[in-house]
Chain A
Amino acid sequence: MAQEADFKCLRCGNSFRAPYSPETEPQERACPNCKSNSVRRVKEQKEAPGKK
């Protein structure tokens, strides 16, 4: 099953989930609400322990 990640549209502020795989990045994405391509992946806040 395809991995998914959270994304946020930087035009309309819409948050949504979309398929995401680090191996195939970057991918062209569009906000399902306003069709903008200014779509930013919402990264996890906490980093792995021991990571700089």
Chain B
Amino acid sequence: MTYSEVENVTGYIGNFKVTIRKKARYVDEKECNACGDCVKVCPSCTPDEYQMGFSTRKGIYIPFPQAVPSSYLIDMKTCLGNNPIACAKCQEVCEKKCIDFDAKDEVVTVDVGAIIVAVGNDVYDPTELDEYGYRSYENVITSMEFERLICAGGPTEGHFIRPSDRTRPKSIGFIQCVGSRSKKRGNPYCSNICCMNTIKDTVLLKDHYPDTDVKVFYMDIRAFGKGFEDLYMKSKDEGVHYVRGLPGEVEENPETGNLIVTVENTTTGKIEKHELELLVLSVGLLPRKDSDVVRQLLTLSRTSDGFLMESHPKLKPVDAPTRGVFLAGCAEAPKDVKDSVTQASAAAARANVILASDKLTVEAITAHIDPDLCKYCGLCVKVCPYKAITPTDRKKKIAPQVIEAACAGCGTCGAECPFDSISMRHFTDAQIYAQIDAILDTNSQDKVVVFACNWCSYAGGDFAGISRLQYPVSNRLIRTMCSGRVKDEFVLYAFRKGAPVVLVSGCHFADCHYIDANRQTQLRVEKLWDKLEKNGIRPERLQLEWISAAEGQKFAVVMKAVEELRQKVTAEEIEHTKEVLAPKPKKKPVEEAASSA
């Protein structure tokens, strides 16, 4: 389904319902045989987006040569108008009568078992990098524009010319890492494809025009992968000049249109000036702006670089955190064609596992709602990162239900439920209270209760252990699947039992295994700080830390820091805390724990 947009997605793994808007083409794609008679008579004209504005297209057009289906469509923003019909010349000449100005968008709903997100990427706009003169100098172009100019299907039919005077440039420079690997401007990450793309371009130039002087200005060339180093060597052997250093300034000679590039060659340590007839900025890749719509529809999350986050970087690299959703191509990270094809194949195979199954295995750790205790507040529905809880209706007294196939077991709903109506399988309230009891039953003043999430903080503790990093024995860990499971009552109960310090620890925001469940952790801890302060308890006694599985060092540092805090908590403070947080008569977690044990 092309020329369409996804408007809504509901449901869960195996049972998604996707609402798609098929945009009106105004041309019957089944009848159109792409004869092109309509294009010849169309009077409207606009810059061709596919050719990067180097040529124009008509109001009726085929978006790009390989478009599927290969039929024309009318861009109503460019067309002179269909309501009322202002021109209709295309309609007059179309022998097959394919053109229908009354066509309307069609909204269709399809049932699917799995979804693959392959939204692609945007490219960096180097306008903000003043020193390179993009948009100031005609002969400074981006690598995307270069692709169009050298392509046989491009605006010049493969005759490579420079924009200012339409002559073939005899000296061409490439600047690498434009918009990539910079914390100040552009993006801090490496865009993965630019080095090899430039090397490919230089080989192409040398093949077509051996007399061209080609220079590449770079920080370092990342030619990893099968055959990449060979291509790099081939480029060098063919006479491409690699200059190690990124230019600090580009100036234009107004008479010739040539560009004077000033660069510090870090190999020789000298400032060099290079006169070039064309300069190509090797621009990096960005996450697609409109991918945010898909992200929200599918409850996906992003990594800190803005690309969609995979479920697990090593074990589930094509799975999205939402079950039944898979990622392919640059939606997940910048990657070349080969990697995109590999990931797409893997995503298709993973999706097929679902489609070929009669039954799906659900997570063992899921939430369960007791409808008798539920007061229909809907808080669980609101906080569930997976939309795995059906809506509640207070008036009709319809309790929410957990869709077990969609539930990932983070426990955020259980932590938020003010009526204790939600229990988490294998991580019940009673089990966690029992662990707190076990820690604090003896010498509670010497213990620090640490709630650590399974995927990051607890694993960080493991890493500290295998790294032989020492940390104080006073820290006692309670593992939860997600820090979002840590109910405020768990923390208060620990303080009531005499804990001098409590630490809640989870994944960094960008790493949360449960999309964004740890945001709820932070909000809850902030409320707890307020509550403690209101009751005359130092909020410092409740600590919050984000520790990844790779941060064994940080884990050890944090453990030492909380031990130092513990030593400053006086016996009087602990007694005062016990008094002010004394349990209300209704809540008897100790008995609950005891009975369940």
Assuming A11-B561, A36-B561, is B540 touching A28 (CB within 8 A)?
no
- A5 interfacial by beta-carbon distance below 8 Å: no
CA A35 – CA B523 in complex, angstroms? 19
The answer to whether B543 and A10 have CB atoms under 8 Å apart is yes
- B545 interfacial by beta-carbon distance below 8 Å: yes
Which residues of A (6-30) have their CB < 8 Å from a CB of B?
10-11, 26-28
- A33 interfacial by beta-carbon distance below 8 Å: no
**Which residues of B come within 8 Å of A, CB atoms?**
508-510, 519, 522-523, 526, 529, 539-540, 542-546, 554, 558, 561, 565
Q: Which residues of B are found within 8 Å of A26, using beta-carbon distances? A: 519, 522-523, 526
The answer to whether A28 and B508 have CB atoms under 8 Å apart is yes
Assuming A11-B561, A36-B561, A40-B529, is B546 touching A28 (CB within 8 A)?
yes
Contact of B529 among A10, A11, A27, A28 (CB under 8 A): A10
What secondary structure prevails in chain B residues at the interface with A? helix
Chain B min CB distance to A40 (Å): 6
Chain B min CB distance to A32 (Å): 16
CA A40 – CA B527 in complex, angstroms? 10
Q: Which residues of B are found within 8 Å of A41, using beta-carbon distances? A: 526
CA A35 – CA B508 in complex, angstroms? 13
CA A11 – CA B558 in complex, angstroms? 10
The answer to whether B543 and A38 have CB atoms under 8 Å apart is yes
Residue of A with least CB distance to B524: A26
Q: Which residues of A are found within 8 Å of B509, using beta-carbon distances? A: 27-28
Q: Which residues of A are found within 8 Å of B544, using beta-carbon distances? A: 10, 37-38
The answer to whether A34 and B540 have CB atoms under 8 Å apart is no
In the complex, besides A10-B529, A37-B544, 19 extra interface pairs with C-beta distance below 8 angstroms are: A10-B540, A11-B543, A11-B561, A26-B522, A26-B523, A26-B526, A28-B509, A28-B522, A28-B546, A36-B543, A36-B558, A36-B561, A37-B546, A38-B542, A38-B543, A38-B544, A38-B545, A40-B526, A40-B539
CA A11 – CA B445 in complex, angstroms? 19
What secondary structure prevails in chain A residues at the interface with B? loop
Q: Which residues of B are found within 8 Å of A35, using beta-carbon distances? A: 554
CA A26 – CA B526 in complex, angstroms? 10
Q: Which residues of A are found within 8 Å of B529, using beta-carbon distances? A: 10, 40
State the 3 A-B residue pairs at the shortest beta-carbon distance, nearest first.
A28-B509, A26-B522, A10-B540
Chain B min CB distance to A42 (Å): 11
CA A13 – CA B540 in complex, angstroms? 9
CA A10 – CA B568 in complex, angstroms? 13
CA A26 – CA B558 in complex, angstroms? 22
CA A36 – CA B510 in complex, angstroms? 17
Residue of B with least CB distance to A40: B529
Residue of A with least CB distance to B533: A40
Q: Which residues of B are found within 8 Å of A34, using beta-carbon distances? A: 561
CA A39 – CA B293 in complex, angstroms? 31
CA A38 – CA B558 in complex, angstroms? 11
The answer to whether A11 and B546 have CB atoms under 8 Å apart is no
Chain B min CB distance to A52 (Å): 16
Chain A min CB distance to B455 (Å): 16
Q: Which residues of A are found within 8 Å of B543, using beta-carbon distances? A: 10-11, 36, 38
Q: Which residues of B are found within 8 Å of A37, using beta-carbon distances? A: 544-546
Residue of A with least CB distance to B519: A26
Q: Which residues of A are found within 8 Å of B539, using beta-carbon distances? A: 10, 40
Residue of B with least CB distance to A43: B530
Q: What would be 24 A-B contacts, judged by CB atoms less than 8 Å apart?
A: A10-B529, A10-B540, A10-B542, A10-B543, A10-B544, A11-B540, A11-B561, A26-B519, A26-B522, A26-B523, A27-B509, A28-B509, A28-B510, A28-B546, A34-B561, A36-B543, A36-B545, A36-B558, A37-B544, A37-B545, A37-B546, A38-B545, A40-B529, A41-B526
Q: Give the one of A27, A35, A36, A38 with max B CB within 10 A.
A: A38
Q: Which residues of A are found within 8 Å of B554, using beta-carbon distances? A: 35
CA A19 – CA B151 in complex, angstroms? 46
